[in-house]
């Protein structure tokens, strides 16, 4: 896809379609809309004054331009921005994504976009490009039927920002393309069938990405993990014929800001989760292919980091494991020893994500991380509490949590804090080991998962993102296909850049 920026004469853009954002209660009497109204032969004004026009955010209205319009485009597409007071830079990604998906169905391959919104030029262009890129992702990778009926790909995107600096617009478009492509990599990984994306395949793909963008990659096999004492992680892989892998990606900046503290991103990479001996119900089990979304987010974010090049060292750790029942599988009541020496009583083998994250976060801290952010599709309880709107966030450092929440707001990703504390930690004390991997039935499920992981953090600042509800969307949205969302990539990248 080609990305370009223009700073004047929007109507004459070399594109098949012109796209604008129009806000609630606007009429075609502003200077820029007057010009477009003239091109449409008055149809724009008529539309905005009619009851047919919907001001609901992301609603679309298409106007075919007259042959004698005097412009290159054949149509004008209006995207409703809703209330202008509520419109933020991140909404631009939703608008460009909506436009791209609408136009693709019409086989339009190029469009020029005017957000009609004043903000930082780099921000506008970054969100604009990201929205177009992420709008291209579809679930149909393995479909062989109706290939000729698939929507067209957008080949050329032009962004109009009146008076914007060309250098800032180019850099924003570059960054937006990187972020969008990285999010789509996370989505592609989460969408892969589990017979294809095994822990070994996930490690190989991470290694390939690392080589392409200049990350250092180390893959720890089960023998190495056994030697290191990662009994908690390895307890999950025992029932599977697929060996576990610990994927370690390292980014070292060429120019350091002088800040020595390493930031670690740690992801749950359960490539398929049957529940193990504590077998899940068969209904809905097919969705457990996306149980590695946290790991996918780490790999995708590390790719973006390598290309955008912040001035702070970052390590990405992904525990890639398949959780299966079998003759060697862990049993409820087994006791294992984790990497940090603590013993764990396994009472439910379907509470496996926290078992692999226990060793992964401890390993990240051992590698020198002073700040650790883990992400995982950890609990169904967070879906009950927050649905697919907000990601649950918990941790041991309020400043870190506040910064992540703020970065999320700036990127259009919602986070909602849940508490941790000694009273919750007491709920996972074991009678025969140091801790047990579940708490009382039906009580504080998301919090219990988090405080278990916290047991394996020593001195590092730590935040836990439970993305079980937000990593997957069951419905098509105007700006994206249903399925994996690539959640948290934008937030994590922004957090890292703010702390370089």
CA angle 231, 236, 240 (to 5 degrees): 125
Question: Structure tokens of 383?
Answer: 């879906």
Instruction: Count other C-beta atoms under 10 Å from residue 375's C-beta.
Output: 30
Q: Where are the alpha helices (DSSP H) in 283-397?
A: 293-308, 353-366, 380-386
Calculate the alpha carbon distances from 31 to 28, 37, 155 in Å: 8, 10, 30
CB 213 within 8 A of CB 219: no
Question: Structure tokens of 353?
Answer: 């994500």
Q: Which residues lie below 8 Å from residue 32, measured CB to CB, with a gap of 6+?
A: 10, 114, 116
Taking phi first (over 0 means left), then psi (-120 to 50 degrees means alpha), and beta for anything else, what does residue 25 get? Answer: left
Instruction: Count other C-beta atoms under 10 Å from residue 288's C-beta.
Output: 18
Calculate the alpha carbon distances from 214 to 206, 307, 309, 489 in Å: 12, 8, 11, 19
Count of positions (residues) in the chain: 500
Return the residue matching tokens 């290191």: 228
Catalogue the E-assigned strands of 355-475.
369-376, 390-395, 414-417, 435-436, 461-466, 472-473
Instruction: Count other C-beta atoms under 10 Å from residue 140's C-beta.
Output: 13
Q: What is the CA radius of gyration of the chain?
A: 24
Active site residues: 280, 354
């Amino acid at each position: 896809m080609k990305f370009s920026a223009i700073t004047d004469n929007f109507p004459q853009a070399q594109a098949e379609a012109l796209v604008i954002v129009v806000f609630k209660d606007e009429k075609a009497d502003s200077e820029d809309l007057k010009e477009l109204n003239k091109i449409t032969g008055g149809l724009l004004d008529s539309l905005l004054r009619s009851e047919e026009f919907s001001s609901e955010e992301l609603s679309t209205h298409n106007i075919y331009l007259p042959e004698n319009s005097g412009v290159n485009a054949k149509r004008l597409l209006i995207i409703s921005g809703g209330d202008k007071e509520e419109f933020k830079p991140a909404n631009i990604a939703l608008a460009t994504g909506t436009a791209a998906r609408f136009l693709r169905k019409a086989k339009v391959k190029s469009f020029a976009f005017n957000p009609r919104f004043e903000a930082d030029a780099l921000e506008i262009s970054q969100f604009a490009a990201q929205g177009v890129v992420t709008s291209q992702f579809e679930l149909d990778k393995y479909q062989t039927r109706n290939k000729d009926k698939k929507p067209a790909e957008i080949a050329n995107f032009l962004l109009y920002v009146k008076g914007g600096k060309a250098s800032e617009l180019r850099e924003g478009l570059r960054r937006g393309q990187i972020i969008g492509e990285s999010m789509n990599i996370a989505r592609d990984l989460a969408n892969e069938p589990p017979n294809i994306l095994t822990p070994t395949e996930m490690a190989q793909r991470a290694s390939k990405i690392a080589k392409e963008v200049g990350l250092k990659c180390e893959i720890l096999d089960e023998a190495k993990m056994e030697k290191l004492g990662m009994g908690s992680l390895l307890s999950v892989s025992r029932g599977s014929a697929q060996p576990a892998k610990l994927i370690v990606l390292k980014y070292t900046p060429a120019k350091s800001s002088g800040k020595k503290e390493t930031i670690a991103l740690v992801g749950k990479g359960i490539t398929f989760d049957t529940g193990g001996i504590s077998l899940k119900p068969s209904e809905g089990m097919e969705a457990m292919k996306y149980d590695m979304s946290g790991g996918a987010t780490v790999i995708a974010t590390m790719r973006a980091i390598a290309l955008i090049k912040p001035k702070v060292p970052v390590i990405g750790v992904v525990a890639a494991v398949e959780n299966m029942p079998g003759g060697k599988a862990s049993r409820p009541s087994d006791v294992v020893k984790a990497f940090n020496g603590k013993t764990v009583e396994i009472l439910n083998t379907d509470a496996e994500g926290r078992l692999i994250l226990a060793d992964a976060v401890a390993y990240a801290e051992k590698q020198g991380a002073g700040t650790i952010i883990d992400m995982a599709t950890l609990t169904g309880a967070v879906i009950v509490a927050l649905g697919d709107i907000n990601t649950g966030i918990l941790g041991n450092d309020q400043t870190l949590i506040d910064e992540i929440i703020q970065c999320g707001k700036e990127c259009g990703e919602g986070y909602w804090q849940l508490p941790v504390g000694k009273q919750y930690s007491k709920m996972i004390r074991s009678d025969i080991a140091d801790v047990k991997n579940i708490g009382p039935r039906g009580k504080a499920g998301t919090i219990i998962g988090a405080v278990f992981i916290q047991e394996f953090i020593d001195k590092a600042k730590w935040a836990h993102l439970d993305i079980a509800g937000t990593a997957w969307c069951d419905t098509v949205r105007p700006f994206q296909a249903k399925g994996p969302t690539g959640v948290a990539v934008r937030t994590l990248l922004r957090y890292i850049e703010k702390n370089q």
